[in-house]
Homo-oligomer: A and B are copies of this chain.
């Protein structure tokens, strides 16, 4: 639904909406058992909740389109993923609370390992500890580029944020991250004529950084991707009149929430920490976005059993979520991450919504196969927000 329509119809209420995003929720059958991660896992609470809910499969972007985390989440928050695009660099900046300015160009960085020929041998430098990453960032922050202010800040493990600050910078820049090993990282290329000067600046940074990192295995080089400036987006508070709080362990997801104007609620490193934060802050917000990451990580690792275990960890807190008595409780995914594919995928994502104003579909379980029989069918993820608001009695009538 168009955000302008939602803005026009949104009304305030004292109802509460809880959106649990299980990252990479959907899966595919294991070739041996013919059962997906959700089908194979022991998730009695999710199964029962599905029976009390309306269910369906969300399409994050479109049939056949595999979403990145940005479009996957923005869709669930109601934003058309084609209209609102967010560069990776911006997401990383938001996630570490970097105060990005309108003139800044941000990039996501990876420390990596290269061989003596400069070929990438490990795109993640063995996932160096965050502390080591921080030391390297402090060093690289000393690099001087004329007329440009430079920020290099650690994110987590091998990941860091690069921000170039000056007037007249452009973000139409190609990545140096080749996305595979065995090749020499290419230089930054301008993707539009006006970005030539910014490309030269970025390459000067890469060159000097390479000199400073030389010999410091495993992190003896860096890769940059997702050069981007801060996008203009309407805030969720403005669109939906919802006071929205976000609870997420990983920076990028906090970044996404911040981008749409949610309040980031500090929390710990586990799902139990997130649950505790949710309970503590329950009275303060109308809408909660709770993000759970391990399902996606396990899927990307191709670890079917670990993804099952992660789903079971989520299942265990379902009764706690129900105890908070949200007016609308939703379990969704930003995309599928089938273990058999070891990556994000295009497959539609199981979804449930429980509300006293929704006649339950009475499905016997919560998985890819049952949800396709749900009353919501296959539907665009951008419809999740209006559906939630409707069931929370937060949308007035359209037209006389």
User: Hey, which chain B residues are within 8 Å of A338, CB to CB?
Assistant: 357
Q: Which of B29, B357, B359, B368 contacts A369 (CB 8 A)?
A: B359
A62 touches B1 (CB 8 A): yes
Q: Which of B61, B82, B359, B389 contacts A368 (CB 8 A)?
A: B359
Q: Judge whether A169 is part of the interface by a CB distance below 8 angstroms.
A: no
B341 touches A65 (CB 8 A): no
Closest to A335 in B: B397
Given contacts A86-B399, A399-B85, A400-B91, contact A390 B68 (CB under 8 A): no
Contacting chain B: which of A97-105, A157-165, A208-216, A377-385? A377-385
Closest to A400 in B: B88
A398 touches B359 (CB 8 A): no
A372 touches B372 (CB 8 A): no
Interface mask (A22-63 → B, CB under 8 Å = 1, otherwise 0) = 000000110000001000000000000000000001000111
Interface mask (A76-96 → B, CB under 8 Å = 1, otherwise 0) = 000001100111100100000
Q: Judge whether A154 is part of the interface by a CB distance below 8 angstroms.
A: no
Q: Judge whether A396 is part of the interface by a CB distance below 8 angstroms.
A: yes
Q: Which of B64, B86, B369, B386 contacts A390 (CB 8 A)?
A: B64
B357 touches A28 (CB 8 A): yes
Number of interface residues of A (CB under 8 A): 60
Within 8 A of B (CB), among A339-387: 341, 344-348, 357, 359, 368-369, 372, 375-379, 383, 385-387
User: Hey, which chain B residues are within 8 Å of A347, CB to CB?
Assistant: 359
Q: Judge whether A395 is part of the interface by a CB distance below 8 angstroms.
A: yes
A66 touches B395 (CB 8 A): yes
A91–chain B nearest beta-carbon distance, Å: 6
User: Hey, which chain B residues are within 8 Å of A359, CB to CB?
Assistant: 28-29, 36, 347, 368-369
A64 touches B226 (CB 8 A): no
A372 touches B369 (CB 8 A): no
A63 touches B379 (CB 8 A): yes
A399 touches B68 (CB 8 A): yes
B5 touches A65 (CB 8 A): yes
Q: Which of B61, B377, B378, B390 contacts A398 (CB 8 A)?
A: B61
A365–chain B nearest beta-carbon distance, Å: 15
A346 touches B64 (CB 8 A): no
Given contacts A5-B82, A376-B378, A378-B377, contact A63 B398 (CB under 8 A): no
A390 touches B65 (CB 8 A): yes
Closest to A368 in B: B359
Q: How far is the CA of A1 from the CA of B1 in the complex (A)?
A: 17
Q: How far is the CA of A387 from the CA of B66 in the complex (A)?
A: 10
User: Hey, which chain B residues are within 8 Å of A81, CB to CB?
Assistant: 398-399
User: Hey, which chain B residues are within 8 Å of A396, CB to CB?
Assistant: 66
Q: Judge whether A9 is part of the interface by a CB distance below 8 angstroms.
A: yes
Query: Beyond the given A64-B386, A91-B400, could you list 8 further A-B residue pairs with CB under 8 A, ordered by the A residue number?
Result: A1-B65, A57-B375, A62-B386, A63-B376, A64-B389, A66-B395, A66-B398, A67-B397
* 30 A-B pairs in the complex with CB atoms less than 8 angstroms apart: A1-B62, A1-B63, A1-B64, A1-B65, A36-B359, A61-B398, A62-B383, A63-B383, A63-B386, A63-B387, A63-B390, A64-B383, A64-B385, A64-B390, A64-B391, A64-B395, A66-B398, A67-B399, A68-B399, A68-B400, A71-B398, A71-B399, A72-B399, A88-B400, A341-B357, A346-B390, A348-B375, A359-B369, A377-B378, A378-B379
Interface residues of A (CB under 8 A from B): 1-2, 5, 9, 28-29, 36, 57, 61-72, 81-82, 85-88, 91, 108, 226, 338, 341, 344-348, 357, 359, 368-369, 372, 375-379, 383, 385-391, 395-400
Nearest first, the 4 closest Cβ-Cβ pairs linking A and B are A64-B386, A88-B400, A64-B390, A68-B399
